[in-house]
């Protein structure tokens, strides 16, 4: 009797520039309970529900990527925690952590719903969350988020820490808005043993009357300001994302810089993004994308879906073209960040 063949592991995803794709960011909704001025317009037209992937489809999609070698899965939005029944999806993804196929399950959130969900996130296997926080001033917070309330977010951060989650604060550097809070934000994070990452504002989507060039605060300048108070030690740390890290000698905390404009980090890009409608963007700063929703819905098996994923990875470009060096925003892309996922 001939023994049954031993199943062979799937050939991993490798793009045309020999970068292995290990990191998937999935948007589960384009909706958000904030209207941050650098992210979306105040009167957003959100997608019809029928266009969004169901939670079951998101499970199939993410599981296919895990089979193909993805080891880190970040859930994004919009605000992922406003999606109805989203915790059932997190719980389902936890099975890949248990097998060891998935090394990390995490999310990026505005923090507004963490007070309700922090314990359940930890139970599902999440150990780290990124919280977007651009100011510690309540009036300025209301202005930049339009609909947000700072005390609710701060309470959510406290709930996450109490649940055992590591919290990293993501701060978008906005000229004329939070320049004067550089040290306050740094000290706020140091007091709570939280990492802090600064992000350059990116030219994505029509945001009404907001001025992209006027918002842009180069992280080269920010870093120079930080160095006036702290001793900065460069770190080799990589978390699967684009940030470059330093340690502050005086507080021993880690501070990251995501600089898609002043420094292109594309050479080491190991990630792709999938929108809540099943479009895969292999580069945040390019318009090119491929459809995965059609293959996902056309068959109960995953062979067609996996072929579509591989075909999309084969089109991944070498890099993006964001540029603020002129009095225009070169490399602008038309979609909102909330559609692609943060």
3-state secondary structure string across 253-293:
CEEEEECCCCCCCHHHCCEEEECCCCEEECCCCCCCCEECH
Task: For 184-193, write each residue's pLDDT tens digit.
Answer: 999 999 999 9
41 is in an annotated binding site: no
272 is in an annotated binding site: yes
- C-alpha to C-alpha distance for 173 and 134, rounded to whole angstroms: 8
247 near 233, Cβ under 8 Å? yes
- C-alpha to C-alpha distance for 158 and 181, rounded to whole angstroms: 20
Question: What percent of the chain is predicted at pLDDT more than 90?
Answer: 68
pLDDT, mean over the chain: 87
Strands in 9-127 per DSSP E: 23-27, 72-76, 104-109
Instruction: Report the predicted TM-score, pTM, of the whole model to 2 decimal places.
Output: 0.86
335 is in an annotated binding site: no
- Residue 13 corresponds to which tokens in the numbers above? 């995803």
Most confident of 53-67, 226-240, 306-320: 53-67
Element of type H or E holding 80 = none
Place of tokens 């880190």: 72
Task: For 197-244, write each residue's pLDDT tens digit.
Answer: 999 886 544 444 444 445 788 899 999 999 999 999 999 876 556 788
The residue ranges of every structural domain in the chain are 23-340
32 is in an annotated binding site: yes
When mean pLDDT is compared across 57-71, 228-242, 317-331, the lowest value belongs to 317-331
83 is in an annotated binding site: no
228 is in an annotated binding site: no
Element of type H or E holding 93 = helix 86-99
39 is in an annotated binding site: yes
Q: What is the CB-side half-sphere exposure of residue 48 using CA atoms within 13 A?
A: 2
Cα torsion 159, 163, 167, 170: sign = negative
Architecture of the 23-340 domain: Alpha-Beta Barrel (3.20)
Strand 254-258: give its sheet, edge to edge: 232-234, 244-248, 254-258, 195-200, 166-173, 128-132, 104-109, 72-76, 23-27, 271-274, 279-281, 290-291
Residue that wins the pLDDT comparison between 280 and 342: 280
- C-alpha to C-alpha distance for 15 and 21, rounded to whole angstroms: 7
When mean pLDDT is compared across 64-68, 102-106, 172-176, 207-211, the lowest value belongs to 207-211
- Residue 100 corresponds to which tokens in the numbers above? 């060891």
Q: Is the pLDDT of residue 141 over 90?
A: yes
62 is in an annotated binding site: no
pLDDT at 2: 52
223 is in an annotated binding site: no
Strands in the chain per DSSP E: 23-27, 72-76, 104-109, 128-132, 166-173, 195-200, 232-234, 244-248, 254-258, 271-274, 279-281, 290-291, 323-326, 328-330
Local confidence band at 265 (pLDDT 50, 70, 90 cut-offs)? low
Tell me the average pLDDT across 276-280: 97
pLDDT at 35: 86
């Amino acid at each position: 009797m001939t023994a049954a063949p031993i199943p062979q592991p799937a050939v991993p995803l490798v793009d045309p520039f020999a970068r292995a794709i290990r990191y998937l960011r999935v948007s589960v909704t384009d909706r958000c309970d904030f209207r941050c001025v650098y992210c979306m317009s105040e009167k957003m037209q959100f997608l019809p529900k029928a266009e969004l992937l169901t939670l079951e489809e998101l499970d199939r999609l993410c599981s296919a990527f895990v089979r193909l070698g993805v080891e880190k899965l970040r859930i994004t939005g919009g605000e992922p925690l406003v999606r109805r029944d989203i915790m059932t999806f997190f719980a389902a993804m936890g099975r890949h952590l248990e097998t060891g196929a998935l090394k990390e399950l995490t999310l990026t959130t505005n923090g507004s719903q963490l007070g309700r969900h922090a314990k359940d996130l930890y139970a599902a296997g999440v150990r780290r969350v990124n919280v977007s926080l651009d100011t510690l001033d309540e009036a300025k917070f209301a202005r930049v988020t339009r609909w947000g309330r700072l005390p609710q977010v701060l309470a959510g951060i406290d709930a996450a820490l109490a649940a055992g989650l590591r919290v990293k604060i993501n701060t978008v550097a906005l000229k004329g808005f939070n320049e004067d809070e550089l040290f306050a934000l740094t000290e706020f994070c140091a007091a709570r043993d939280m990492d802090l990452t600064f992000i350059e504002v990116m030219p994505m989507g029509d945001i009404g009357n907001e001025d992209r060039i006027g918002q842009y605060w180069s992280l080269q300048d920010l870093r120079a300001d930080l160095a006036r108070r702290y001793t900065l030690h460069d770190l080799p740390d990589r978390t699967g994302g684009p940030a470059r890290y330093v340690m502050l000698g005086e507080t021993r905390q880690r501070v990251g810089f995501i600089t898609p404009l002043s420094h292109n980090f594309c050479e080491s890009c190991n990630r792709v993004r999938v929108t809540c409608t099943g479009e895969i963007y292999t580069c945040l700063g390019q318009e090119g994308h491929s459809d995965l929703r059609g293959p996902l819905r056309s068959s109960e098996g995953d062979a067609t879906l996996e072929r579509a994923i591989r075909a999309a990875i084969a089109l991944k470009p070498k890099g993006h073209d964001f540029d603020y060096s002129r009095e225009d925003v070169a490399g602008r892309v038309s979609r909102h960040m909330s559609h692609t996922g943060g």
